């Protein structure tokens, strides 16, 4: 749909409200959408067989502003309305769920589109030769890229959908599909506010991008899921406490070896988490955030439930004394001693705003000398 998503109601082609759109913007829009503007909002809703009220709910959910009765919609917009309304009519989705689908898709793709234009297409459309304008190279570049990017987007979406569906069907029961027990971790750059006052904007942008890229790669490589990035902070989740612990320590170790990066601190909690539209909510998430705020520099703090989960799954001993006893017993029986990956050290109990008194544990990687 071709309505501006800034909330201003302005035309997406960059013209002032009521003014004429840029000719190249009109051509680009027709190229990308595969059709020209033909319908007013009322005409699009009527052609799709959808009430204006429902059409407006869908459009706003997708992030598009109201445009009055300007001709701003194409055949593709009409088809999208028909499809969403058809899912409701067939009983496959409730109206509220269809609006959620529109909202989650709109929010996700809006960020992707902004990134591609800002970071990708701008670089490609730099004039290759003196005297050429960006306008002269933009259209052919987008014309070449569009089908490839579209195919890649669908491929990645299908892959992610398959992975998410697999996690859902493995849930123990229907309730667990929504309220699940997960390990949730926050990783936060130390002193980021001070950095924003000292660094140039371009340098700061490069640092944030490097941090987010490194974190995303590590989370994915070790079997976690990146929930969101917040500039100086990333939020990730994992079904397994051992996976979450490995990601946290890898983040600390990787950032510590990069002299350009600030110090990092990580907080992890384990427990019931509510998932909505790709995000996570609940006391467990809040606790992980609070643990991050009190964690020492280049260190990982976890809550007691997370610590107990590592102990239960034999990823960490309850204490070094217990580890020594287990090793001695294994040696006596001629067996291999337990191969603990992590070590846990109980820290001082402290009150945490909104969550009462918590007992943090310091998570470290078990050294060879104690293994």
What confidence category does residue 1 fall into, taking pLDDT thresholds of 50, 70 and 90? very low
What confidence category does residue 43 fall into, taking pLDDT thresholds of 50, 70 and 90? very high
Does residue 307 carry a pLDDT above 90? yes
The Cα 40–Cα 55 span in angstroms is 12
Q: What is the model's pLDDT at position 361?
A: 95
Torsions phi, psi for 123 (to 5 deg): -65, -40
Question: Which residue in 259, 245, 239, 246 sits closest to 303, CA to CA?
Answer: 245
3-class state of residue 356 by DSSP: strand
Torsions phi, psi for 236 (to 5 deg): -135, 165
Does residue 184 carry a pLDDT above 50? yes
3-class state of residue 28 by DSSP: helix
Does residue 34 carry a pLDDT above 70? yes
- At 186-214, the pLDDT tens digits run 999 988 777 777 777 778 888 888 888 89
Report which secondary-structure segment, H or E, holds 268: strand 264-276
Q: What is the model's pLDDT at position 164?
A: 77
The Cα 360–Cα 295 span in angstroms is 9
Q: What is the model's pLDDT at position 129?
A: 64
| Lowest-pLDDT choice from 49-58, 114-123, 169-178, 355-364 | 169-178
**pTM (predicted TM-score):** 0.68
- Give 137-176 as a DSSP string: HHHHHHHHHHHHHHHHHHHHHHHHHHHHHHHHHTSSSHHH
Report which secondary-structure segment, H or E, holds 29: helix 23-33
Tokens (6 digits) for 27: 């051509």
Q: What is the model's pLDDT at position 205?
A: 80
The Cα 309–Cα 269 span in angstroms is 10
Residue 346 to residues 149, 159, 304, 364, Cα–Cα distance (Å): 49, 40, 9, 12
- Give me the mean pLDDT over the 240-248 stretch: 96
- At 262-280, the pLDDT tens digits run 889 999 999 999 887 778 8
The Cα 237–Cα 268 span in angstroms is 9
- Outline where 183-282 has alpha helix (H): 192-198, 201-221, 241-256
What confidence category does residue 78 fall into, taking pLDDT thresholds of 50, 70 and 90? very high
Using a pLDDT cut of 90, give the percent of the chain over it. 39
Which sign, positive or negative, has the C-alpha torsion 262, 268, 273, 278?
A: positive
Does residue 237 carry a pLDDT above 80? yes
Q: What is the model's pLDDT at position 172?
A: 53
Measured from the Cβ of residue 58, the count of other Cβ atoms closer than 10 Å reads 25
Q: What is the mean pLDDT of the chain?
A: 83
Does residue 22 carry a pLDDT above 90? no
Asked if 363 and 249 touch (Cβ cutoff 8 Å), the reply is yes
Question: Can you give the length of the chain in residues?
Answer: 371
Does residue 12 carry a pLDDT above 70? no
């Amino acid at each position: 749909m071709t309505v501006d998503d800034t909330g201003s109601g302005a035309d997406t082609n960059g013209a002032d409200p009521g003014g004429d759109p840029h000719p190249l913007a009109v051509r680009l829009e027709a190229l990308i959408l595969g059709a020209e503007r033909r319908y007013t909002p009322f005409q699009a809703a009527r052609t799709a067989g959808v009430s204006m009220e429902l059409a407006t709910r869908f459009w706003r959910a997708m992030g598009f502003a109201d445009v009055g009765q300007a001709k701003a919609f194409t055949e593709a917009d009409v088809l999208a309305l028909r499809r969403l309304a058809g899912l409701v009519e067939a009983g496959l989705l409730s109206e509220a769920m269809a609006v959620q689908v529109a909202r989650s898709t709109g929010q996700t793709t809006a960020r992707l589109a902004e990134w591609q234009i800002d970071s990708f297409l701008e670089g490609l459309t730099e004039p290759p030769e003196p005297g050429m304008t960006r306008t002269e190279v933009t259209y052919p570049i987008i014309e070449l890229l569009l089908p490839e990017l579209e195919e890649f987007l669908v491929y990645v979406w299908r892959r992610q959908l398959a992975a998410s569906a697999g996690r859902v069907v493995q849930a123990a029961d229907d309730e667990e599909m929504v309220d699940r027990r997960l390990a949730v971790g926050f990783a936060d750059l130390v002193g980021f506010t001070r950095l924003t006052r000292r660094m140039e904007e371009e340098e700061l942008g490069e640092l944030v991008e490097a941090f987010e890229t490194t974190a995303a790669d590590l989370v994915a490589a070790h079997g976690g899921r990146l929930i969101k990035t917040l500039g100086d902070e990333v939020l990730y989740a994992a079904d397994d406490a051992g996976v979450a612990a490995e990601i946290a320590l890898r983040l600390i170790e990787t950032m510590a070896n990069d002299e350009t990066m600030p110090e990092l601190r990580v907080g992890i909690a384990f427990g019931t988490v509510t998932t909505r539209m790709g995000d996570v909510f609940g006391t467990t998430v809040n606790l992980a955030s609070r643990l991050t705020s009190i964690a020492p520099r280049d260190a990982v703090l976890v809550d007691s439930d997370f610590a107990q989960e590592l102990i239960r799954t034999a990823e960490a001993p309850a204490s070094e004394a217990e580890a020594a006893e287990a090793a001695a017993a294994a040696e006596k029986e001629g067996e291999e001693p337990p191969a603990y990956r992590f070590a846990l050290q109980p820290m001082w109990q402290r009150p945490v705003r909104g969550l009462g008194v918590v007992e943090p544990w310091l998570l470290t990687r078990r050294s060879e000398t104690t293994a």
